[in-house]
Structure 1
Amino acid sequence: MKKSFRTRALAAGALALISMVGLAACSTTTEPPESSGANMADVMFVQMMIPHHEGAIEMSDILLAKSGVDPEVVELAEQIKAAQGPEIEQMKQWLDDWGMPAMSDSMDGMDHGGMGGMDGMAGMTEEDMQALEDASGPEAGDLFLEQMIVHHQGAIEMAEDVLDDGEHPAVRELAENIIASQTAEIELMRSMLDS
């Protein structure tokens, strides 16, 4: 389980690095069909947001397996899972419809060595995940909130980027929903930490 998360995190980080510096040689060279209404910004967003959402669900699962956690934090973790699971399925369907590979497919064969700090693109480093797994009770709840705030901030940045460059109406709608819902959740999580 830890290895699969690290693999997804590294893949997401590698793709983000590629897009930031414009090294298209390592990314997929196939464009989505013109009839799809999607461009490469839409594809990259979806390819990166799937493992990002999977990371949030994995964090939630870790928290939900613990006892002694504040019921409000438990409820939030359940809400995150309930919202992001269907979004993952929708994004996977878009990639299928566009004939575009998922992150794991598009990154096959790339050397992920030396990516070090890029784990954060999927929101969490291996050390962060281990800290959450090791924490218990209220401490686990607080750590989950702190880490999820950072994770949500990453998703909001990705969503803002696709609103700048993406063209697909449904992708843009998802990005707007991510910005609205996760901004509200960040405010809620900050208030939980303050109380």
Structure 2
Amino acid sequence: MRRAVAVVALSLALVTAGAAVAIAIAAGTDAAGRAASEPTTPGGAESLGGATATARVTADDYCYVEAMIYYRVEETELAQSLLAKDGVAPEARAFAAETAERDAAELEHLREWYVSWADARPLEPPADGPCAGHGADHAQMPGMPSWSRQLALAEAVPPVAEREFIGILQAQTTGMVALVSLILDGDPHPDVRESAEGVLARASEDAEMLDELLVGLP
């Protein structure tokens, strides 16, 4: 019975995550329908974190934004899954709550760029570059948890739940760092470079905190 409830809960969480990403995708559908891999110019500096109106946006820039939306939505769902459990260690609960809060702020900016830069969206999943091999919905990105891993977290109780949560986030953080490093090795849009450098800084802090949380578990 408990397994059935966990499966239902996980399914609802995945639907919620997919809906959150779909909102951003739907908002840019018309422009995306005209998209090509050629660079484009954003509509204005005000909505793009202060970048100049002449800055060029490429398919790789769009790839970064779309991939980070998927990473952060998934991360938020994992945090909420842990927060819904009873008996979670206070330190792990505090980290999960902070993670969800930071993701919400970051997603607000990412979704603005997603819509504004929709003309740079490639018509087909890229065969090369930083997003090669991610699949049509980025489900194959490095570090994205499998269904079985998500189910394990949904079913787990503390302290196993905290260990599952930490393990998934460690893998996902490693995947994000790999993607962001590829983006920074290229010639990203100024807003993307600033955002990506922030992701690396946060990833370093999170990795240290996750190690500390793991050591502190019984």
Indicate the residue corresponding to 2:200 in structure 1: 179
Indicate the residue corresponding to 1:39 in structure 2: 58
Q: How far 1:188 sits from its partner (Å)?
A: 1.3
Alpha-carbon distance in 1 for matches of 2:155, 2:36: 42
Q: How far 1:49 sits from its partner (Å)?
A: 1.1
Indicate the residue corresponding to 1:11 in structure 2: none
Alpha-carbon distance in 2 for matches of 1:129, 1:52: 14
Aligned CA RMSD, in angstroms, stands at 3.0
Indicate the residue corresponding to 1:194 in structure 2: 215
The structure that has the greater radius of gyration is 2
Indicate the residue corresponding to 2:161 in structure 1: 140
Q: 1:141 to 1:100 in 2, by over 3 A?
A: farther
Q: 1:71 to 1:106 in 2, by over 3 A?
A: farther
Indicate the residue corresponding to 2:79 in structure 1: 60
Q: Between Structure 1 and Structure 2, which shows a larger proportion of helix residues?
A: 1
Normalising to structure 2: TM-score of the pair?
A: 0.67
Structure 2: runs of 5+ lacking an equivalent: 1-11, 20-34, 42-53, 126-134
Q: 1:60 to 1:3 in 2, by over 3 A?
A: closer
Structure 1: runs of 5+ lacking an equivalent: 9-27, 108-113
Structure with larger RCO (C-alpha < 8 A, sep 6+):
1
Q: How far 1:36 sits from its partner (Å)?
A: 4.4
The one-character-per-residue Cα deviations of 1:25-53 (angstroms, maximum 9, x if unpaired) are xxx52434233432221111111111111
* Pick aligned residue for 1:29 from 28, 31, 36: 36
Q: How far 1:61 sits from its partner (Å)?
A: 0.7
Instruction: Give the match's secondary structure for 1:193.
Output: helix
Alpha-carbon distance in 2 for matches of 1:102, 1:38: 10
Q: Percent identity?
A: 24
Q: 1:97 to 1:120 in 2, by over 3 A?
A: closer
